[in-house]
Amino acid sequence: MGILSARDVEQSFKDALDGALVTTRIYEREVGLNKNHYTSLWLDVKRDGFRTAVLHVCQLQELPHFTVIAPVDRGESVELLYHFALYHGHHLKAIALAIRVTLQKSDLTIPTISDIIPGAIFAERETQEMMGVKVTGIPDDRRLFIPDDFPQGVYPWRRDETGPHDMLRVLPGRQGIQHE
Amino acid sequence: MSDSIQKTTFTMPIGPIHPAIHEPIRLDLSVDGEEIVDVDVAAGQVHRGIEWIGMNRNNPVQSIYLAERVCGICSACHPFTFVQAVEQAAGIDVPPRAEYIRVIIAEMERIHSHLLWAGVAGHEIGFESLFHLVWRVREKVMDLTEYITGNRNSKAMYQIGGVRRDITEDQAPTIRKTLDYYKSVFDELKKLLLDDPTVKMRTRGVGVLSREDALRLCAAGPMLRASGVAADVRQDFAYAAYADLGVRAITPDIFTGAVAGDTYDRIVVRLLEVKQSIELIEKALAAMPDGPILTEPKIAKLLAVLKKADGEAVARTEAPRGECMHYVRMKAGEDVLEAWKIRAPTYANLIAVPTMLIGQQIADVPIAFASIDPCLSCSNRAVIVDRHSGTRTELDSEQLHDLSVEKTRRLNSELTYK
């Protein structure tokens, strides 16, 4: 497969994922005097189709460049955004690809991708300790950034009762941050 | 015998933050005599929760200052990436002149960072005269940074919707003078760093990362390019004025004819990138259009726009150490960011450290680890587990450094006998 445009990449995901693809969005921005385009492609994928989506990224570019997982606490659910730089190494052809999986708080598990992309291991370890999402099949499930004596069951990036709110030092005259 | 090694919790004797070290990290090395057989990276000794503050306390403009303080050395790349992400999420345009000034500041940072690294590499192998010389050369770009921004570091140039300060016509001669100075010393620097037999001996074949491993482990920046992958965010993505200026990724085969993916190749890439940065600044100065430098100079108005913003965006820049990425999500009516995720280049490159170090000697650890230009500058305190005796000893950065210097001296004396 040669280098595709963002629209063709979008279509190839629609073909590959079928019903597992929820929504897609393409963002473009003109940059500089020559009006070159910065492009990002956002895909919402169901958990069932998530690994298929990552395998499809590997079809589009062999050994693709995975950047990081950005987890977001959205109240009832947790979103995991897997960021890729698709077509990196090609002059002005790269697409900022983000694959989003939305997980209900009652079932915070996601399959590992570090068997497909070994460079994802740090991001998966970080997602486990910071967001409290269990990565199933992870080859190394130790903490990465949080020290071992940090309490279990507290996740710094959560905005609910499992967040670190009780651990904050509130300065005199200031109000502590209330969780929802 | 190796089965008898018990992994126990390691307690650091002098605390996780040593006063002399700004970003500590621990490497657990398993060794068989002199040879390293396994490596474990223990990160997170100084996790500060910067993203958390941006999501709970600061408004986006205040968060620029925080982003600037993610790292003391890359104090341009983080705010640069952050403001781009916010601009995309909030739909704010940037005047073309600001795009060029952003590039000039970022390239000045690359010159100083790469030279800083080259000096540190000299220090790691005990080549102190090289260290002092390179750092003296580096001072010129620090002076220039101070001249333009008012500060040697933490430049506070980037603002959402542009830059804070202009580069005026009467500043241009000083910038050109500094660039001319770098062009005049470049060949000498190249000779010292790339032709010197001591540097070659200690860096050739050390810390090798193959092309496939670099891609598999998602390495970034000079690490990736030194392994032969021609990827550079400035080349791949259109951002700021880079697409106008025509940047091409530098791989070591331009200079050496072949890619080895070792520490020497990383020196080649970084040094050639210093030259590339000089040329980019020259081009940017010449092509810089006239016009405003900020879309919305009134902070109160800007904050009102940001409060209404609803959306998400991801931005990348090529920091001196590689791809720097910020993801930002904004919710209408909220002062703070709904989500903020920073991925600094060292985060990616640390994953490759075990692959690079296995099979190396302990004395090669300082230079091999330094070759990734870790943002956690000091690979202090390595724990060494001897495979045969099962004993654990601990080396601090000084002892490791002594081992490295000793090796250089030994190799040098052998060289003289020949």
Q: Determine how many CB atoms are found less than 10 A away from the CB of residue B251.
A: 23
Name the band, by pLDDT with cuts 50, 70 and 90, for residue A107.
Answer: very high
pLDDT at A119 over 80: yes
Q: B236, A83: Cβ pair inside 8 Å? A: no
From CA B333, how far away is CA B310, in angstroms rounded? 9
pLDDT tops 80 at residue B150 = yes
Cβ neighbours for B400, distance < 8 A, ≥ 6 positions apart: B362, B365, B366, B379, B380, B382
Biggest alpha carbon distance in chain B? 74
Range of the domain at A69: 6-154
Q: Reply yes or no on whether the pLDDT at B261 is more than 50.
A: yes
pLDDT of residue B3: 53
Residue whose C-alpha is closest to residue B269's, from B284, B259, B283, B282:
B259
| Region of poorest pLDDT, from A62-76, A129-143, B191-205, B352-366 | B352-366
Between CA B321 and CA A65 the distance in angstroms is 16
pLDDT at A13 over 70: yes
Confirm whether A171 is domain-assigned.
Answer: no
pLDDT in tens, B130-141: 999 999 999 999
Q: Superfamily assignment of B50-347 in CATH?
A: Cytochrome-c3 Hydrogenase, chain B (1.10.645.10)
Confidence band for B380, pLDDT divided at 50, 70 and 90? very low
pLDDT of B42 strictly over 80:
no
pLDDT > 90? residue B211: yes
* Strand pairing report for B322-330 and B339-343: antiparallel
CB atoms under 10 Å from CB of A74, counted, come to 15
**In contact, B65 and B50? CB cutoff 8 Å:** no
Q: Residue A118: pLDDT band by 50, 70, 90 thresholds?
A: very high
**Residue A167 covered by a domain:** no
Query: Contact A89/B236, CB-based, under 8 Å?
Result: yes
- Tell me whether 0.90 is exceeded by the ipTM: yes
Average pLDDT (B349-355) is 89
Q: How far apart are CA B254 and CA A124, in angstroms?
A: 36
What is the Cα Rg of chain A in Å? Answer: 19
For residue B95, how many C-alpha atoms fall within 13 Å in the half-sphere facing its CB?
19
Mean pLDDT computed over every residue of chain A: 92
Selected residue with higher pLDDT from B2 and B240: B240
| Phi, then psi, of B168 in degrees rounded to 5 | -90, 170
Over residues B111-123, the pLDDT tens digits come to 999 999 999 888 8
Q: Between chains, do A32 and B242 touch, taking CB under 8 Å as contact? A: yes
Check B327 against A148: CB less than 8 A apart: no
Amino acid at A143: R
Residue A89 touches chain B, beta carbons under 8 Å: yes
Contact B45, B16 (CB under 8 A): yes
Question: Which of A81, A86, A91 is the best residue to mutate to test the B interface, defined by the most B CB atoms within 10 Å of its own CB?
Answer: A91
SS3 B325: strand
> What is the 3 state secondary structure string of B338-356?
CEEEEECHHHHHHCCHHHH
d(CA B239, CA A85): 14
Looking up tokens 């989003």 gives: A100
Q: Report yes or no on A166 lying in a domain.
A: no
Domain with CATH 1.10.645.10 in chain B: 50-347
- Count the Cβ atoms, other than its own, within 10 Å of residue B260: 20
Q: Tokens 């810390």 identify what position?
A: B207
Please say whether the dihedral angle defined by the alpha carbons of residues B310, B311, B317 and B321, taken in this order, is positive or negative: positive
Q: Which percentage of chain B shows pLDDT scores above 90?
A: 62
Q: Whose structure tokens read 């804070």?
A: B164
Query: Which residue of chain A has the CA closest to B349?
Result: A119
Q: What is the pLDDT of residues A51-84, one digit of tens each?
A: 999 999 999 999 999 999 999 999 999 999 999 9
The secondary element (H helix, E strand) that includes residue B307 is helix B299-308
Contacts 24+ apart (CB under 8 A), B376-380: B376/B23, B376/B24, B376/B25, B376/B43, B376/B346, B377/B21, B377/B22, B377/B23, B377/B120, B378/B21, B378/B22, B378/B23, B378/B24, B378/B25, B379/B25, B379/B27, B380/B18, B380/B21, B380/B24, B380/B25
Predicted local confidence at residue B11, as pLDDT: 32
How, if at all, do strands B339-343 and B382-386 pair?
A: unpaired
Provide the 8-state DSSP code for A82.
E
Asked if residue A47 has pLDDT above 80, the reply is yes
Mean pLDDT of B363-371: 81
Average pLDDT over residues A11-35: 94
**What was the pLDDT predicted at B401?**
79
pLDDT classification of B389: cutoffs 50, 70, 90:
low
Confidence of residue B45 (pLDDT cuts 50, 70, 90): low
Put simply, the answer to whether B51 touches A157 (Cβ < 8 Å) is yes
Contact (CB, 8 A) for A112 and A138? yes
Contact across the interface for A32 and B218, Cβ inside 8 Å: no
Residue B38 confidence class, pLDDT cut points 50, 70, 90: confident
How far does A145 lie from chain B, in Å, by closest CA? 4
The pLDDT of residue B358: 87
Kindly state whether residue A60 falls inside one of the protein's structural domains. Answer: yes
Q: Is residue A13 part of a domain?
A: yes
Mean of pLDDT values over B302-318: 96
Query: What local confidence, expressed as pLDDT, does residue B392 receive?
Result: 63
Query: Inter-axis angle of helices B96-124 and B128-149, to 10 degrees?
Result: 160
- What does the pLDDT average to over B206-233? 95
How many domains would you assign to chain A? 1
What type of residue is B308? Answer: K
**Does residue A113 belong to any structural domain of this protein?**
yes
- Token digits for A130? 């910071």
Give B362's pLDDT tier (boundaries 50, 70, 90): confident
State yes or no: pLDDT of A179 exceeds 60. no
Decide if pLDDT at A25 tops 70.
yes
Identity (one letter) of the amino acid at B135? W
pLDDT over 70 for what percent of chain A? 96
Percent of chain A with pLDDT over 90: 80
Mean pLDDT of chain B: 86
Which of B341, B342, B329, B330 lies closest to B305, judged by CA?
B330
Chain A residues in contact with B312 by the CB 8 A cut-off are 42
What would the DSSP string read from start to end of B201-258? HHHTTSS---HHHHHHTT--THHHHHTT----HHHHS--TTHHHHT-----THHHHSS
- Quick one: pLDDT at residue B8? 37
Residue B214 confidence (pLDDT) above 60: yes
- The count of C-alpha atoms lying within 13 angstroms of the C-alpha of B13, restricted to the half-sphere facing its C-beta, is 8
Mean pLDDT for the stretch of residues A33-50: 95
Distance of CA B46 to the CA centre of its chain: 18
Q: How far is A72 from chain B (nearest CA, A)?
A: 6
Indicate yes or no: CB of A119 within 8 angstroms of CB of B348.
Answer: yes
pLDDT at A169 over 90: no
CA pair distance A113, A116, nearest whole angstrom: 5
Question: Confidence class of residue B377 from pLDDT cuts 50, 70 and 90?
Answer: very low
Q: Is the model's pLDDT at B22 over the cut of 50?
A: no
Helix or strand or coil: residue B275?
A: helix
Q: Does A180 fall in a domain? A: no
For B187-202, give one letter per residue: b (16+ CB within 10 A) or e.
eebbebbbeeebbebb
Lowest mean pLDDT among A142-151, A165-174, B63-72, B97-106: A165-174
Report the candidate in A33, A176, A57 with the shortest Cα–Cα distance to residue B94. A33
Q: What DSSP character marks residue A5?
A: P
- Torsion sign over Cα B248, B249, B253, B258: negative
Question: What average pLDDT does the segment B320-325 reach?
Answer: 93
Examine residue A57 and state whether it is found in any structural domain, yes or no.
Answer: yes
Residue B293 DSSP class: S
Strand-pair partners of A104: A77
Strand partners, A72: A79
Reading across the β-sheet that carries B322-330, which strands appear in turn? B311-319, B322-330, B339-343
Q: What is the pLDDT of residue B205?
A: 92
In single-letter form, the type of residue at position A33 comes to: L
Q: Can you point out the beta strands (E) in B331-395?
A: 339-343, 382-386, 392-395
Name the pairing type of β-strands B162-163 and B311-319: unpaired
Residue of A34, A89, A148 lying closest to B230 (CB–CB)? A89
**Contact residues for B220 (Cβ-Cβ < 8 A; gap 6+):** B321, B322, B323, B345, B348, B349
- Which residues are registered as beta bridge partners of A21? A45
Higher pLDDT, B149 or B374: B149
| pLDDT above 90 for B363 | no
Return the CATH number at A124: 3.30.460.80
